Structure 1
Amino acid sequence: MTAVVLSPSPTLLALLLWIVCEVVVGTSQEERCVYLDHAHHLDTVGLSQDGDVIIGALINFYVLPPTLDLSFTKEPYLQSCSEFQESPVQWAQAVVFAVEEINRNPSLLPGVRLGYRIMDTCTRYPHSLRAVMSMISGGNATCETTRPAKLIIGDSASTQCIILSRVLSPLHVPMISYLATCVCLSNRREYPNFFRTIPSDMYQARTMAQMAKRFGWTWVGAVVADNDYGLQAVQAFREETKGTGICLAFVSTLLRERLAKDVDRAVKMVQSSSAHVIMVFAWYMDVEVFLTELVRRNVTDRQFLASEVWSTSSHLLSNPALYTITQGTLGVAVRSAPIPGFEKHLQELHPSRYPRDTILRVLWERTFGCSPVHNKTSQSGLPPCSGKESLEGVQNGVTDVSNLRATYNVYLAVYAAAYALHSLLACTAPNSSDLTMTPGCSSPDIITTQQLLEHLKLLNFTTQLGEKFYFQDGEIPAVYDLVNWQRGPGGTLQYVLIGRLEGSNLIIKESAISWPGNSNKVPVSVCTAECPQGTRKAIKKGLPVCCFDCLPCAEGEFSNVTGYQKSL
């Protein structure tokens, strides 16, 4: 077959050239800028700083996605989210603080300036996927592009991390999560580019199973998020309790898009079940709705086992409506560690210092009731701020540094990235013993994400607290605090440390525990009490082994030990 080449007419060429000029050249910067999708308004929800190497970070500043438009009358696109959270602002500032601290350090990455780009994920994978693609490509528009991010810190949720890891793995882009705990993410074959600074849920489930065994709770209910975080936690608990005589009475799931309906179903299950110990793996704002409904229905005599996401939530602890139901809660908490100088950094935050930080503007509006933006771009409708507003003396989820848990995980993730880059760039410190070496690093422009990924695997450094830090197949050693919610001064609730988990070693100070109702007695949660002497267990058909009848021993047989049967 002979190819025929058609010569375009001069008129057609002129038309095409005119269209290109209209689209690209235009008369203004706005017309010259071409956006790759219709959700470019999401690019402004976050903060950024340029540098020689960019670290991307995914933070869920907002948690409630808008209702989907299913009319199909227009092209669908991602809309802005609602329900602003304060705590994640502190996580984002941990990135900012760590980067600024590293850039001032002459011994770590000398001559290389780190930058960051932090974007909102709305705790939903379409938003996080769009954000991460923007980071690694340098932007979603043809104007104001930035350096592509070499590494991603995040996401906070396991489901998003599963999706992002599978998308980024073929590109060899490493990601370090500070809060994703799903056991499934430990699979290095499936997620070879995934690392985390928080232990796997396997250890949480093991801890809760050990607590249930220790206190004789054989009948446990579960209310969990309807995602990989919650469902995998239930699976891990089942694996840990196999053969121990501990059973799950029920499993109820919560999905934010249908939260009212799911909460209603979960509360009904709690009401109707004889299980008085309830394990809860869900986001703290969803837990609040669930607990509030239990209080409304006067169900306040349950013992809750809290996962790390809500076990130390200041938001829940400060809610007076929940005092009657949450007192006595036992929780597994991410270890706490101090960050020297971080409190001062937070107190000195001001929109004038970080003009590109749109999240800080929102925080200012919520905290001080005024707008820090004094020009026509301010759409809050609030009066302008005086400029003298300060976070010093303000007590909220951003400024509270008494227990830095997820925040410290974010801080560690930035340092892990920096030390991996330091190794990759063959950096030498000013105090190097080799006098022939000039302090500095090789050019960061030539490094690849695959090289950075390999150096993360071999990472080994000492933190500012004097602790050794390293990844073992992408994981860190399991260390948890065990907390108990107790009445404090003035009747308010506070959590108290009552134990610790290190590896498989569980340490609990039982005398320090305050049980629900301010009781000193351990709650009972069994489907059927152990059979007395002279009777035997008869398993009920269709029910777990924890539920049984106690029948008199047959003639010629006896039981001289509670719960057992012997034959003559």
Structure 2
Amino acid sequence: MQKATLVILCAFCIGQVYDCEVTGRFDMPYMFKRGDIMIGGIFPVFNKEITSTDSFKMEPLDVMCEGFDLRAFRWTQVMIFAIDEINKDPALLPHISLGYRILDSCASPTNTVRAALTLGSETDGMEATSPCPPAISALIAESGSSQSLAVTETLGPFQVSYFSTCACLSNRAKYPTFFRTIPSDYFQAKALAALVKHFGWEWIGAIQSDNDYGRNGVLAFAEEVKKLKICIAFIGTVLRTYPLDKILKVVEMIKQSTVKVILAFVPEGDFYPLMREIVKQNITGIQWIASEAWITAARPSTPEMYQAFGGALGFVVQKMNIPNLYPFLMNINPYRDPSEPFVKDFWETMVGCKPSSNVSDTGAAKICAGNETLMDHTQDVFFNVSQLRVTYNVYKAVYAIAHALHQLVFCRPAGEKNVKPCLNVSEIHPKEVSNSAKELQQGFLLLGND
């Protein structure tokens, strides 16, 4: 705990003139590219943290994660793609380069805090005894509402989320530097209640995830359906880290109930253990209502899951296209920079072999021959860039930050020619970027007090 405390003290000296000393770091892999202005990113590249028991007699073990998530990995690549695109744009932040530092949250609030503190400490190559400037000027994080809450309550830099929808994050008094490129669940709860009313369903069940997203979502939905005289028979609670016996209790709740319509207000990863048991026990005949977190996810659409969850209804995030993203994704290669984190995991998941020259590092995995390409996998949903939803929210978040930075540095909006800086890049602080973003909210659908 001592190390974490020291890192916190360092992180909060942002904007002060005192010397900053970091006596310890969390050993977290990250994608990195240096730039004049650094942007942080936190994504659930792996979707489950392997829990361990601490004795409090020694330093905690390094965090271990499992379940590589192709969807989240694509979010990291879109952040990199957007930054590269901006760096080539002469009209947006001219003669100023954006850099990035991207870490994995493991879809865990605890690990998200570790990632935030890592981003809040000094950047690579900075002397430990130098003044403590902001390591990042803005942060793109996170997908889960509990994870976003953990960041904004712990570190609180200018933060833009791409998938955190909890209405609780709309409290500007508590979270003045939090923004998002997706509407809050306040609107989704109203829409889902209207959907239930439209079909004349008066007796339904509900499943919530045991986190801020699920609990607040079902609470808001319950308040709306109560106004419409619709009754909720039961509320089951699930989480990706729950033991099997807790999942089975929810299964029994569903089997014993007479309801034929169930709302599931859960992220895909938290819902998946319950989905597997429902399919395993051949529970069919239920009309599922989905929250936006899983209605367009890939796993519920597999032939295995479709028999139980086919025909689910829900509201989706608007789909968009990003020009030139497809060739960028097709250019991902683990041999270009073997030390780049997460890319080997992507290759092993997508291609089916492990790109390693070190035989002892491959374990039981098949070793790549070295001539494999992504051309044989172009039909995978990972490369489908025609219906981008959350991915496009990440893209918008990067551009919103870039325009806020441009406005701050040049004191005028992007697009004008022959602009000169009115602020030195070294003087940028996250709070100032946040204030600049407030002026751009409507133009970028950057939502704060929504």
Category of TM-score, reference length = shorter chain: 0.7 to 0.9
Matches within 5 A, 1:479-490: none
Deviation at 1:137, TM superposition (A): 1.4
One-letter amino acid of the counterpart of residue 297, structure 1: Q
Structure 2 match to 1:229: 213
Structure 1 match to 2:80: 96
Alpha-carbon spacing, 1:321–1:379, altered in 2? closer, same or farther (3 Å): closer
1:343-382 Cα distance to aligned partner (Å, 9 max, x none): 1110111124455521111111233344434358955565
Which secondary structure does the structure 2 equivalent of 1:123 belong to?
Answer: coil
Structure 2 match to 1:521: none
Deviation at 1:202, TM superposition (A): 1.3
One-letter amino acid of the counterpart of residue 118, structure 2: S
Aligned counterpart for 1:444 among listed residues 415, 421, 425: 425
Aligned counterpart for 1:298 among listed residues 272, 282, 295: 282
Matched, 1:129 2:120: no
Structure 2 match to 1:540: none
Deviation at 1:386, TM superposition (A): 4.6
Structure 1 match to 2:326: 343
Counterpart CA distance in 2 for 1:330 and 1:152 is: 33
Aligned counterpart for 1:368 among listed residues 335, 338, 351: 351
Structure 2 match to 1:165: 152
1:363-411 Cα distance to aligned partner (Å, 9 max, x none): 1123334443435895556565454432234133532323211100000
Structure 1 spans left out of the alignment, 5+ residues: 1-33, 462-467, 476-568
Deviation at 1:342, TM superposition (A): 0.6
1:262-284 Cα distance to aligned partner (Å, 9 max, x none): 22111111111121110001222
Structure 1 match to 2:24: 36
One-letter amino acid of the counterpart of residue 272, structure 2: E
- Contact 2:109–2:147 (8 Å) recurs in 1: yes
Alpha-carbon spacing, 1:370–1:241, altered in 2? closer, same or farther (3 Å): closer
Counterpart CA distance in 2 for 1:230 and 1:109 is: 39
1:201-240 Cα distance to aligned partner (Å, 9 max, x none): 1111111100111111111111110011000011111221
User: What is the RMSD of the two structures over their aligned residues, measured on CA atoms?
Assistant: 2.8
Counterpart CA distance in 1 for 2:357 and 2:394 is: 33
Structure 1 match to 2:17: none
Structure 2 match to 1:471: 446
Question: Greater shift after overlay, 371-380 or 259-268?
Answer: 371-380
1 or 2, which has the higher helix percentage?
Answer: 2
One-letter amino acid of the counterpart of residue 321, structure 2: P
In the superposition, the TM-score normalised over structure 2's length comes to: 0.87
Matched, 1:239 2:223: yes
Counterpart CA distance in 2 for 1:471 and 1:286 is: 27
One-letter amino acid of the counterpart of residue 154, structure 1: A
1:491-550 Cα distance to aligned partner (Å, 9 max, x none): xxxxxxxxxxxxxxxxxxxxxxxxxxxxxxxxxxxxxxxxxxxxxxxxxxxxxxxxxxxx
Deviation at 1:449, TM superposition (A): 1.3
One-letter amino acid of the counterpart of residue 136, structure 2: A
- Contact 2:347–2:355 (8 Å) recurs in 1: yes
Aligned counterpart for 2:341 among listed residues 353, 358, 365: 358
One-letter amino acid of the counterpart of residue 453, structure 1: S
Counterpart CA distance in 2 for 1:377 and 1:55 is: 36
One-letter amino acid of the counterpart of residue 161, structure 2: S
Deviation at 1:73, TM superposition (A): 5.7
Counterpart CA distance in 2 for 1:184 and 1:141 is: 38
Deviation at 1:255, TM superposition (A): 2.3
Structure 2 match to 1:330: 313
Deviation at 1:451, TM superposition (A): 0.9
Deviation at 1:334, TM superposition (A): 1.2
Structure 2 spans left out of the alignment, 5+ residues: 1-21
Deviation at 1:323, TM superposition (A): 2.2
Counterpart CA distance in 2 for 1:241 and 1:361 is: 47
Counterpart CA distance in 2 for 1:408 and 1:376 is: 39
Matched, 1:189 2:202: no
Structure 1 match to 2:385: 401
1 or 2, which has the higher strand percentage?
Answer: 1
